[in-house]
Amino acid sequence: MNAPSPHSHDPDATHAASDGLAVQHHELGEALLLDVRRAGVFESAPTLLPGSVWRDPARVDVWAAELPADREVVVYCVYGHEVSRNTALRLRALGVNARFLSGGIDGWQRAGLPTVAKGEAS
């Protein structure tokens, strides 16, 4: 049996470590909302959540320092699974008060909440 790569991750461990960081859509408040869908997924998607901006989750270590220290950050991906959970955990490790949107943009849309077309003013 091979030992896991130091770069591999265990989805169950990610979920266990991040469960307490979930935010429901009605709990966003004044949080800074970041779309962290993978680049290819984001590029092919027509919409994003109102007021959100996209950041490449693969480059979180680069853009994390640009985030405000005094404001909660909520990240979302498609379903609220690995991408947003891992990004929230990485941001927290870098000192950012980050959480993730439970259900992602898919759950948001299923709840009948509004989205905006990419490129529209939010």
Following DSSP, what letter does each residue of 69-93 receive, concatenated?
TTS-EEEE-SSSSHHHHHHHHHHHH
Architecture of domain 30-117: 3-Layer(aba) Sandwich (3.40)
pLDDT bucket at 122, cuts 50 / 70 / 90? very low
Q: Where are the domains of the chain?
A: 30-117
User: In which element (H, E) is residue 54 found?
Assistant: strand 53-54
pLDDT tens-digit readout, 35-70: 999 999 999 999 999 999 999 999 999 999 999 988
CB 87 within 8 A of CB 68: no
Entry pTM: 0.83
pLDDT the model gives residue 16? 59
Contacts of 23 (CB under 8 A, 6+ apart): 31, 74, 99, 100, 101, 102
Cα–Cα nearest to 84, from 102, 100, 71: 100
